[in-house]
């Protein structure tokens, strides 16, 4: 029996109709007992062969529209009333030489379709060009320069589009878009769009990605032109971005055709006109649903047969070649299984060997690369560190954070150490730990935590530090060690000085200079003498010789992050100065950098203290534990440190002092405080002697 194919508007095509009952009986009788009554293995093999042959059977596409010139029009796109799905309408415009597919938007603009991907349910259109080579204005009326889709149609903007809004006004600064000087649109305009360069203001964003993305707004009030790129790779040169020009639209998966009666569906037993249970509201629509055993194919626009159905029912007809096919399949299947197992074993052994070689090479690079100091970190084995930490027992856990966990350990020679572990499977955490090894292998200062060695034998890299027994500065100011006597004023000044000297060493003595990028009180450890040591170099960056800044995405901790670095992505030594200024305010006030228990305007400590200073109430925010009972000289030094901290928090980095100047100023304050106390003690001794 031949296949029956019909083409009707709005109907489902019928493919591979079932055999009549008499023919099914005769076909079943022709099958030999040896073919159907064999071993279970043979039955399964016959089922597999039938499935493969069914998949290889050609399927006609009666509902697809004819090509538009040389461009195929896949289902469900519709260029006429008799093909495709009418909801997915496109337009085929023919001229004397060729035909072109167009997508019509609701703002009266038509866009040529440059490519179609039926399997991904996406198409790419060419957006409107500029008015002229010398005008940075998209072609079309002011109200039609953007892209406006009909929300009732099944098309929307996909998330693969990078949109650049060009020739914009200051009104767009109120939006959350990336309109900074580092935006990609500036690089594009300067390289390939001379009519738009230099741009006073432009913005870049990724559009689409949801069913509500139906427009890209362009108007003289905000922006006069736009460009769209599909799958843009910003790491490539801007001169090559032109090959990605276009706007990608995606369409929703088409459902079964609508019908009023069974006559609207394909004749026969392939589809049934029935109520749609998912109809919204009280109005019930009807659709041509596939009968059991057939499945609706949105790609083909037809009810298609499950390839395994005929084998399961025995209605495929007999074949006296079944034993031969079964033997061939068994032989080929066995050979393929043996070959696959051998290949799997070989590739597994090869991966293990390459992984070991890579670990050894990485270990050598970590310990020796960029090491101008001549110091080398010891390479600890994983077994040694497991023994030292009690197999990373929870009882030895000192703390945890976004990077991973830190454990206390005792080496075989009795040395107490701290072992830092990256998070297992977290690539970013692993990169931070390895970066910390690279940085600490190049520095040596009494105010920086000393790296004893590292280990890359295990799944995640480990770092071994000297053990610092008295926790972090944050613990003493407002954390777990507040039950102890508060740090006296002189000790706080000493911690500030040690920290400033350590950071100044990174900026001025390390070669190349190092920007810490995460200075905060929880990264300042206190040793047995309560001296401060800077730790956690996971976010640190090496400065580039001859360049005033490092261009990088803003990273750090809220409350300590330099606002100028956050805005322009330019990391400098003054970014660490800003963070250290917040630490000085914490030493002075014993308050957190960010605290939502304070008033809405005082959540940020820097803003809170600056407002008090502007109102000449700086001493009101000082920690009562150090202010009460202090001499006038000590109160003056507290005020001096507060104004130094505010100097570090200047909005413009050019107005902030360097870390070397900050360290010298703190040392000067300490000398004044120490000298004043010595004079005060001499006067008291003289008064006591006279009284006697």
- Could you list the residues known to form a binding site for ATP, using ranges: 420
* Torsion on CA atoms 323, 326, 327, 329, rounded to nearest 10: 160
* Contacts of the segment 364-369: beta carbons below 8 A, 24+ positions apart: 366/434, 366/437, 366/438, 366/441, 366/454, 366/456, 367/437, 367/441, 367/454, 369/438
User: d(Cα 131, Cα 140) in Å, to the nearest integer?
Assistant: 8
Cα 429–Cα 432–Cα 437 angle in degrees, nearest 5 = 130
Would you call 650 helix, strand, or coil by DSSP?
coil
Angstrom CA distances, 670 to 166, 433, 497, 623, 691, stand at: 55, 36, 9, 18, 32
| Cβ proximity of 134 and 193 under 8 Å | no
Q: Is-catalytic flag, 518?
A: yes
User: d(Cα 222, Cα 171) in Å, to the nearest integer?
Assistant: 6
User: d(Cα 147, Cα 157) in Å, to the nearest integer?
Assistant: 9
DSSP letter string, 94-105: E-SS-EEEEEE-
Cβ atoms within 10 Å of 197's Cβ, excluding its own: 15
According to DSSP, the residues that pair with 566 across neighbouring strands are none
How many helices and strands (H and E) does the chain possess? 16, 31
User: d(Cα 688, Cα 407) in Å, to the nearest integer?
Assistant: 54
DSSP letter string, 439-503: HHTT---TTBPPEEEEE-SSSS-EEEEE--TT-BHHHHHHSTTTTSPPPPHHHHHHHHHHHHHHH
User: Tokens for 398?
Assistant: 């000192």
According to DSSP, the residues that pair with 534 across neighbouring strands are 448, 524
Angstrom CA distances, 117 to 52, 88, 250, stand at: 26, 14, 9
User: d(Cα 141, Cα 398) in Å, to the nearest integer?
Assistant: 66
Q: Tell me which H or E stretch contains 272.
A: strand 271-275
Active-site residue identified among 264, 457, 475, 518:
518
User: d(Cα 205, Cα 223) in Å, to the nearest integer?
Assistant: 14
Q: Which residues are annotated as catalytic?
A: 518
């Amino acid at each position: 029996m031949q296949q029956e194919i019909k083409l009707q508007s709005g109907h489902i095509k019928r493919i591979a109709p079932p055999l009549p009952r008499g023919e099914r009986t005769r076909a079943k009788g022709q099958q030999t007992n040896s073919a159907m009554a064999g071993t279970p293995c043979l039955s399964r093999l016959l089922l597999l062969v039938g499935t493969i042959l069914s998949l290889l059977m050609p399927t006609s596409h009666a509902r697809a529209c004819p090509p538009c010139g040389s461009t195929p029009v896949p289902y469900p796109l519709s260029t006429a009333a008799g093909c495709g799905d009418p909801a997915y309408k496109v337009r085929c415009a023919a001229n004397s030489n060729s035909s072109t597919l167009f997508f019509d938007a609701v703002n009266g603009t038509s866009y040529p379709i440059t490519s179609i991907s039926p399997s991904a349910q996406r198409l790419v259109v060419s957006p409107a060009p500029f008015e002229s080579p010398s005008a940075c204005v998209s072609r079309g009326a002011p109200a039609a320069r953007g892209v406006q889709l009909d929300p009732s149609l099944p098309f929307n903007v996909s998330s693969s589009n990078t949109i650049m809004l060009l020739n914009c006004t200051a009104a767009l600064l109120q939006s959350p878009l990336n309109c900074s000087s580092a935006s990609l649109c500036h690089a594009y305009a300067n390289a390939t769009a001379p009519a738009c360069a230099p741009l006073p203001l432009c913005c870049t964003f990724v559009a689409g990605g949801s069913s509500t993305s139906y427009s890209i707004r362009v108007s003289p009030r905000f922006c006069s032109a736009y460009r769209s790129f599909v799958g843009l790779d910003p790491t490539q040169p801007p001169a090559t971005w032109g090959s990605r020009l276009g706007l990608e639209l995606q369409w929703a998966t088409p459902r079964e055709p609508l019908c009023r009666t069974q006559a609207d569906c394909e004749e026969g037993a392939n589809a049934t006109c029935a109520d749609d249970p998912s109809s919204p509201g009280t109005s019930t629509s009807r659709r041509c649903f596939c009968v059991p055993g057939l499945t609706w194919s949105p790609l083909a626009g037809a009810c298609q047969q499950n390839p395994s159905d005929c084998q399961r029912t025995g209605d495929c007809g007999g074949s006296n070649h079944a034993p031969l096919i079964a033997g061939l399949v068994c032989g080929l299947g066995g050979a393929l299984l043996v070959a696959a197992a051998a290949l799997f074993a070989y590739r597994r052994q090869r991966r293990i060997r390459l992984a070991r070689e890579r670990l050894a090479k990485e270990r050598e690079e970590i310990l020796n690369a960029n090491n101008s100091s001549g110091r080398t970190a010891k390479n600890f084995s994983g077994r040694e560190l497991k023994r030292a930490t009690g197999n990373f027992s929870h009882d030895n856990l000192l703390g945890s954070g976004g990077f991973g966990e830190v454990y206390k350990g005792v080496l075989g020679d009795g040395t107490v150490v701290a072992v830092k572990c990256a998070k297992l499977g977290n690539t970013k955490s692993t990169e931070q730990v390895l970066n910390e090894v690279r940085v600490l292998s190049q520095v040596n200062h009494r105010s920086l935590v000393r790296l004893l060695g590292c280990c890359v034998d295990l799944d995640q890299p480990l770092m071994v530090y000297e053990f610092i027994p008295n926790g972090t500065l944050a613990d003493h100011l407002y954390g777990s060690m507040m039950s102890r006597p508060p740090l006296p004023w002189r000790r706080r000044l000493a911690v500030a000085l040690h920290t400033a000297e350590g950071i100044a060493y990174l900026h001025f003595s390390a070669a190349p200079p190092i920007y810490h990028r995460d200075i905060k009180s929880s990264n300042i450890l206190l040793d047995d003498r309560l001296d401060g040591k800077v730790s956690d170099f996971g976010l640190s960056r090496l400065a580039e010789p001859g360049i005033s800044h490092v261009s990088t995405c803003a990273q750090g901790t809220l409350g300590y992050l330099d606002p100028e670095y956050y805005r322009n992505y330019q990391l400098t030594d003054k970014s660490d100065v800003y963070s250290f200024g917040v630490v000085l305010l914490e030493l002075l006030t014993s308050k957190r950098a960010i605290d939502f228990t304070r008033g809405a305007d005082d959540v940020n400590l820097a803003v809170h203290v600056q407002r008090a200073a502007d109102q000449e109430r700086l001493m009101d925010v000082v920690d009562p534990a150090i202010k009460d009972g202090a001499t006038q000289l000590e109160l003056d030094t507290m005020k001096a440190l507060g104004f130094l901290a505010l100097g570090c928090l200047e909005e413009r980095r050019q107005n902030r002092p360097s870390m070397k100047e900050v360290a010298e100023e703190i040392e000067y304050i300490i000398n004044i405080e120490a000298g004043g106390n010595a004079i005060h003690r001499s006067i008291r001794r003289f008064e006591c002697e006279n009284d006697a």
